[in-house]
Structure 1
């Protein structure tokens, strides 16, 4: 090898040892250390000398929440625009796909709210007060909601974190840009490409910044758990335990809904659906990413379950960008859970707002790391709930995120099975 080759060849630096530890393991380690520190600081009966130090433990969680709130609106805007610009959806099949995705997501949210209303996990214990000041809950005003949907300025939703206005702007620009791209592609023009590239670069840039924030999550978990254990002991975590059980129950009911749809709307047998999708489900739980699971999902649908290639690609590859049923269910349940903790039970109108914001905030969120935490800030803001409580939800999110990712993947596979119809593919198609 000559000197020129050694100069031209890019050299990759090895990552620091702490970056090689999976995020889940980092959070588990942070939880163990936080509990130990909280017990050492008093476990519910702290001394006056330690109170100042205990308060400072919450600073990392405060910074993480501020960063998530700041990134939420531009991230969702770019994610929706990027999805509309890069996803190819055929006309007739696209309309049916949209109906299936909208139906599945709506059912998931309704199931989540139903379970939260019946089990009422927020009343099972006393959760610690959040960091900072609480905000007053917003009352439901349908006409005010409609009038507020159109912002006074295009950039206003990005400044005020107004999720309804953000959704309107994102969908309008996304639909128009997609139409312009389709027209130019049909005419052989390429002037749309710079806009598509700019959107892609901005989306990637925000995602990279988000990775920096996520790297601080274990530190935030350590600080907030240590603070809660030191000040309140273990009593606050009873509610969180009830919340975890409620979310798992709701996700299981959503899985049953999927299997029912597959049984009556497709030629695929539910037992074959579960058996064939095992690899995809395990990959989803282990990787915690429906995007990373897409190749496994596509392979399972085509070769293990036996659906047609077009159906598999629409559900697993296209639908995965829009279908985040588990995430939407989780966000809706989180909002209701926190409202129960505060004794501010959301009425039907406010729960309807939660349904709307959860549906649209989940669009294009598949490629966003820790999407549930990011978009949850928008859902909370839409009904006036304090986003500070999200810091406590982070302590259980690492587990629930994996569970809802499995449901997201299962939803993609269900859509593929339903698109495939009630007749299996023939030998010629295979």
Structure 2
């Protein structure tokens, strides 16, 4: 028995190691393929498989507010800001983000990708039995927010969920000294990000469930519509890139093509890794060594500004909200679209320090205009690709800010760029 138990343990460890070593986007693609097959096979019975997706989305929604709060607090405490250059940096960051969101909303309103293929009406024949479904009862006990279980109508189970999650996460930083407020924020943010990593591991399961349930109940119409959404997002990101190049041409001494050649390593790394945070050192080095910007300009734009600059993410989330609204036949008024703008700005500011930031912050944008967060799981199926595209735009925004901060006069005039 001991030998068999050891063999089973070894097999489980091998499977878990393979799961962790496989890139997330490949796991998501596999979940999409499996979900399509299961949805076709089970038909309406596949509706019950959406529960895992709802569970993952609820936890992401609960983590989003404290993650954004702590990420912004940490970024503001660690940023070295001061003087007129800092004011100009803030102005450039806000302007670029507003332009990005404006471009996203403009493209979404003009192209109307969600209207290209109307979503089939929701139909859940198993909903009558939901009250007796153990999974649904378990889902009801999962807190919708971190503070929820501590309110008057909170549940003991919700408190237990939070206590267990934080208890396990804090084990990783239990020896970290807390001598300053910054240390306290760092420990809290590190703990929440550890929990977020666990949830991200379950994202493929959520994708499988939502794909199977949608295909089984409503067919392929929603996923066909995603093709239009991907095209619209790529058009918007291309327009944002063109805006960056124009700004560099008009506001910096460095020619746009010269800048692109100098930072292409950073752009390729951003697309490959999907992480603007991991790309920051490369971006800074290329701006200094290849482009020839001043040290202050490169560090302010690529290191300090990168903690607040997520133009591609803000653009994507604004477009996602409009796309889902169009898909469901809902009309977002100008006032609601303004709420999308404000929420996207707030969410994008704190997104730099959060892994898979789009998965977390999008729940805030959807809830702000009362859109069903269930459709976020459907967007996961194409997010792995669009995430890399918008990360490259995020880095391109950092590069643009650095070039504009450097001004129209080069530090060393004796070797002008070709």
TM-score where L is the length of structure 1: 0.78
* 2:234 is the alignment partner of 1:235: no
Between 192-201 and 415-424, report the one with greater CA deviation.
192-201
Once the two structures are TM-superposed, the CA of residue 339 in structure 1 deviates from its matched residue by: 1.5
**SS at structure 2 position matched to 1:236:** helix
Change in 2 beyond 3 A, CA 1:76/1:126: same
Paired residues of 2:47 and 2:212 also in contact (CA < 8 A): no
Once the two structures are TM-superposed, the CA of residue 336 in structure 1 deviates from its matched residue by: 1.1
Once the two structures are TM-superposed, the CA of residue 130 in structure 1 deviates from its matched residue by: 7.0
Once the two structures are TM-superposed, the CA of residue 129 in structure 1 deviates from its matched residue by: 5.8
Structure 1 equivalent of residue 78 of structure 2: 86
**1:302 equivalent among 288, 291, 294:** 288
Once the two structures are TM-superposed, the CA of residue 297 in structure 1 deviates from its matched residue by: 0.6
Cα distance in 1 for partners of 2:280, 2:246 equals 23
Change in 2 beyond 3 A, CA 1:232/1:130: closer
Cα distance in 2 for partners of 1:311, 1:195 equals 29
Between 196-205 and 359-368, report the one with greater CA deviation.
359-368
Structure 1 equivalent of residue 17 of structure 2: 16
Structure 2 equivalent of residue 350 of structure 1: 336
Paired residues of 1:280 and 1:409 also in contact (CA < 8 A): yes
1:135-160 per-residue CA deviation (whole Å, 9 max, x = no partner) reads xxxxxxxxxxxxxxxxxxxxxx9648
Paired residues of 2:47 and 2:216 also in contact (CA < 8 A): no
Q: Whose helix fraction is larger, Structure 1's or Structure 2's?
A: 2
* 2:99 is the alignment partner of 1:113: no
**2:263 equivalent among 277, 281, 300:** 277
TM-score where L is the length of structure 2: 0.81
**1:97 equivalent among 89, 102, 121:** 89
**SS at structure 2 position matched to 1:367:** coil
Structure 2 equivalent of residue 187 of structure 1: none
1:375-419 per-residue CA deviation (whole Å, 9 max, x = no partner) reads 111111112222222121111111111110000000000000000
Paired residues of 1:125 and 1:237 also in contact (CA < 8 A): no
Paired residues of 2:123 and 2:218 also in contact (CA < 8 A): no
Structure 2 equivalent of residue 38 of structure 1: 39
Between 13-22 and 325-334, report the one with greater CA deviation.
13-22
Cα distance in 2 for partners of 1:131, 1:66 equals 21
Once the two structures are TM-superposed, the CA of residue 89 in structure 1 deviates from its matched residue by: 1.7
C-alpha RMSD over aligned residues: 2.2
Paired residues of 2:47 and 2:217 also in contact (CA < 8 A): no
Once the two structures are TM-superposed, the CA of residue 128 in structure 1 deviates from its matched residue by: 5.3
Unaligned runs of 5+ in 2: 1-12, 125-144, 149-177
**Structure 1 segment 127-142 matched on structure 2, within 5 A:** 127=119
1:25-53 per-residue CA deviation (whole Å, 9 max, x = no partner) reads 11112122222323333xxxx3xxxx44x
**SS at structure 1 position matched to 2:221:** coil
Cα distance in 2 for partners of 1:131, 1:250 equals 33
Cα distance in 2 for partners of 1:106, 1:243 equals 21
* 2:351 is the alignment partner of 1:359: no
Once the two structures are TM-superposed, the CA of residue 127 in structure 1 deviates from its matched residue by: 2.9
Change in 2 beyond 3 A, CA 1:106/1:282: same
Structure 1 equivalent of residue 59 of structure 2: 67
* Aligned residue pairs, count: 354
Cα distance in 2 for partners of 1:122, 1:159 equals 35
Cα distance in 2 for partners of 1:122, 1:327 equals 19
Cα distance in 2 for partners of 1:292, 1:281 equals 12
Structure 1 equivalent of residue 409 of structure 2: 423
Cα distance in 2 for partners of 1:193, 1:130 equals 53
Cα distance in 2 for partners of 1:193, 1:99 equals 34
* 2:213 is the alignment partner of 1:212: no
Between 21-30 and 232-241, report the one with greater CA deviation.
232-241
Structure 2 equivalent of residue 174 of structure 1: none
Cα distance in 2 for partners of 1:425, 1:230 equals 62
